[in-house]
Copies of this chain bind each other. A is one copy, B any other.
């Protein structure tokens, strides 16, 4: 397992928020997990709703749980809803299968962690996460 340092996680967090601000997205909650599923960094912009962060967490945790960007989970949930429903229960309830949970990889393709974003449309949440990871010099896997 490659390690995601706090410094890198904070860089991804900052560039994700910048990516959202440049595009005029709604206020976001953003969380960065390492590959173990431990929170390294998180921030909620002013104006997010009460449980917005929990939704961001669910996207990133779902991505890590199955090793796929959450757009792929979204497709699975559409094609085979019972599968994702079952997995959600099996993993303890923390999986939000829509775009915006994006895997972080290094240049060799090793998994470093995942970013979860919620607050705008799922597509825009994903754009912010992917842009943030890229701006930090890393590779993203959104599950496309």
Contacts and interface: CB of A to CB of B under 8 A. Distances in A.
Contacts of A54: 65, 87, 90-92
Q: How many copies does the complex hold?
A: 4
A10 B43 CA distance: 8
Interface in A62-95: 62, 64-68, 74, 77-78, 80-95
A51 B84 contact: no
Interface string A20-56: 0000000001010011111111111110111111110
Interface residues of A, number: 61
A115 interface: no
B42 A89 contact: no
A98 B77 CA distance: 13
A132 interface: no
Q: Which 7 A-B pairs have the closest CB atoms?
A: A49-B67, A77-B82, A51-B65, A58-B90, A89-B93, A86-B96, A1-B1
